[in-house]
Amino acid sequence: MAAPGTAGFSRRRRATFAVRQGGSLLSVNGGSVAACQSSDTREQGAESPGKKLGAPEAAQLKGKSEKQKRRNDKPSDMLSCHRTQESLLSSASGYNNYRGVLNWCVVMLILSNARLFLENLLRHGILVDPIQVLSLFLKNPYSWPAACLVIVSNLFILVALYTERQLSKGSFGEHVGFVVHCINLTVMLTFPVAVILTVPSVTQDDVFCMFLVGGAFALGIYTILFLKLYSYRDVNMWCRDLSSAKAKKLSRSLSCPSGFSGDNLKVCYPGNLTLKDMYYFAFAPTLCYELNFPRSPKIRMSFLIRRLLEMLFFTQLLVALTQQWMVPIIQSSMKPLEDMDLSRMMERLLRLAVPNHLLWLMFFYWFFHSSLNFSAELLRFGDRQFYKDWWNAESVTYFWQNWNIPVHKWCLRHFYKPLLKKGFSKMVSQSAVFFLSAFFHEYLVSVPLRMFRLWAFMGMMAQLPLAWFVGKFLHGNYGNAAVWMSLIIGQPFAVLMYVHDYYVLHHRLDTD
Ligand SMILES: CC(C)(COP(=O)(O)OP(=O)(O)OC[C@H]1O[C@@H](n2cnc3c(N)ncnc32)[C@H](O)[C@@H]1OP(=O)(O)O)[C@@H](O)C(=O)NCCC(=O)NCCS
């Protein structure tokens, strides 16, 4: 075995030998250059033999060594200056450093958006009004139906907890428990719909804001709770199944009387059936219940404040861009939509695509990074994988597996795998998951708008043939471009369809 330093020493000797043989030897490896030159750079090498050089130093050394080499060239070498080589832009060259092109794209993007920004300002003036949103909520301080709906949702949480407690004690049989859970979950989905469709104050005055912000917010909370309570029921049922199976096999059961197991205070069934545990799950940034969630050691204040500032900043930016950029385009699309002027509709669609996409990206960051991390940090919830690298998706399937991890996890654990276990094929199970997802997308859009048009539903269901097409015919960068295309064009298309239908339904009736 070589003594420490021997390898370095022999490497240096080999390098010196190479210098003596041919003048200079230069090896470039990922930006660091180990250079061994004949005369002028040998001193530097002796000073710091193992030192890695930065890019400018490396370039300088390379230049020097090339000059040195040229000086040493024999006259016969100077007769030829060509060798067989590919142009950089041809794929055979193997060249793939397009950093400069990426920077160019960013500069072009900023410039073209600056032009759009100026054009928008010149045409519409400043439309941003942060007070408008607040005043909408403060206009009628005693009638906040969305907030009332959210408060009432606690009832469903308590019913689920009560049912599970009764099941654990044996006061409810499995069948009775199942029926109570089913009723609880069904009422949970239908109750807010009934309120939004019947209580006039939800749909008064500023239709757009109240419908979309108030109604969609309340429905979003109910949908999240629905998925959580479904998971809560499943996991507690699995615990009962496991403990009774163990009780049959062994004399010991999984459940422990104290509710805690062993030294590390892990809670076990039925010790988890407490109000504290239930509300921890209700607020935790996950849809999948677990008896012992991974916990982070402490709350990092600087992380928490950064996420909070991001949340506030992006909320303002989202509202401002909607008021200044989205709303004028949507308003200007009404006429072409009404006249069914196809070329103008196409132009409006493409015009809407840019702000819609930017808002969607900001929403992604605001929700999946800032907000979920904020609540996770506050609750010391350890699992922060809320999204994966969906932006690199080369297939539609990869996108759906990685863009919304909480929903994907829920789908896999509580719907997809149980269907597979029951013997359904992969194709049927995937279609069932997308059907359920399509139902909830439509639910969240149609109910606040009080208009059932199935555009969101069809958009989600279209993912299945799209996934098949992209998976079969487009790969690599083409697949990635297809995923981006579907996101950039698909969403504003659905938005315009709802706007069109909404306009036809309300404004045409008004003018008639
Ligand atoms: C439908 C969906 C769940 C499919 O997911 P997927 O990852 O492509 O599914 P796969 O067939 O690759 O299998 C996933 C899992 O099932 C398991 N599995 C596959 N076939 C199985 C079988 N016959 N029996 C048991 N398990 C099986 C796999 O081993 C894998 O397990 P792992 O997660 O532990 O590795 C996913 O596309 C999805 O979540 N779609 C909806 C997303 C959505 O609507 N999001 C809303 C965002 S707003």
Residue-range domain boundaries for the chain: 13-56, 146-293
Tell me: pLDDT of 204 over 50: no
User: Do the beta carbons of residue 307 and residue 372 sit within 8 Å?
Assistant: no
Rounded percentage of the chain residues whose pLDDT exceeds 70: 76
Instruction: Single out the catalytic residue among 181, 414, 441, 500.
Output: 441
- What confidence score (pLDDT) does residue 377 get? 97
Asked if residues 366 and 311 have their Cβ atoms less than 8 Å apart, the reply is: yes
What pLDDT band is residue 335 in, cutting at 50, 70 and 90?
A: confident
pLDDT value at residue 213? 76
How far is the C-alpha of 149 from the C-alpha of 206, rounded, in Å? 19
Nearest atom within ligand 1 for CA of residue 436: 44
pLDDT of residue 133: 64
Mean of the per-residue pLDDT values of the chain? 81
Q: Which pLDDT tens digit goes with each residue over 208-240?
A: 565 567 888 999 999 999 999 999 999 999 999
Concatenate the DSSP letters of all residues of 423-459 into one string. Answer: T--HHHHHHHHHHHHHHHHHHHHHHHHT----HHHHH
Residue type for position 315 = T
* Nearest alpha carbon to residue 233 among 150, 153, 149, 166: 166
Say how far apart CA 387 and CA 410 lie, in whole Å: 14
- The pLDDT-based confidence of 332 (bands split at 50, 70, 90) is confident
Rounded percentage of the chain residues whose pLDDT exceeds 90: 50
Q: From CA 71, how far away is CA 90, in angstroms rounded? A: 33
Report pLDDT digits (tens) over 157-173.
999 999 999 999 999 99
Residue 290, helix vs strand vs coil: coil
CA dist., res. 91 & res. 89, Å (int): 6
DSSP bridge pairs for 261? 266
pLDDT score recorded for residue 145 = 77
93-130: buried (b, 16+ CB within 10 Å) or exposed (e) per residue?
Answer: eeeeeeeeeeeeeeeeeeeeeeeeeeebeeeeeeeeee
Do residues 185 and 158 touch, judged by C-beta distance below 8 A? no
Lowest mean pLDDT among 59-68, 129-138, 179-188: 59-68
Task: Give the best-scoring range by mean pLDDT among 140-149, 269-278, 352-361.
Answer: 269-278
Average pLDDT over residues 445-449: 88
Q: How confident is the model at residue 258 (pLDDT cuts 50, 70, 90)?
A: very low
Question: What is the amino acid identity at position 203?
Answer: T
CA of 54 to the centre of ligand 1 (A): 46
Taking the centre of ligand 1 as the mean of its atom positions, its distance from the CA of residue 400, in whole angstroms, is 10
Ligand 1 touching residue 411 (CB < 6 A): yes
- With 80 as the cut, is the pLDDT of residue 264 above it? no
Task: Tell whether ligand 1 has an atom less than 6 A from the beta carbon of residue 430.
Answer: yes
pLDDT value of residue 123? 83
- Residues 379 and 300 sit within 8 Å (Cβ to Cβ): no
Considering only CA atoms, which residue is closest to atom 11 of ligand 1? 426
Measured in angstroms, how far is the CA atom of residue 417 from the centroid of ligand 1?
A: 7
Rounded Cα distance between 46 and 61, Å, is: 15
- Mutation test of ligand 1: which of 398, 401, 419 has the most ligand atoms closer than 8 Å to its C-beta? 401
How far apart (Å, rounded) are the C-alpha atoms in residues 372 and 79? 67
Phi/psi-derived region of residue 423, left when phi > 0, alpha when psi is between -120 and 50, beta in every other case? left
Instruction: Name which of 186, 185, 166, 161 is nearest 176 in CA terms.
Output: 166
User: How many A from CA of 470 to the centre of ligand 1?
Assistant: 18
Among 70, 64, 7, CA closest to 33: 64
- pLDDT at residue 131 is higher than 80: no
Listed as own residue / partner, the contacts of 425-430 with beta carbons closer than 8 Å and 24 or more positions apart are: 430/464
Instruction: Look at ligand 1, atom 17, and give the residue with the nearest C-alpha.
Output: 417
DSSP 310-355: HHHHHHHHHHHHIIIIIHHHHHHHHHHHHHT-HHHHHHHHHHHHHH
441 assigned to active site: yes
CB of 284 closer than 6 A to ligand 1? no
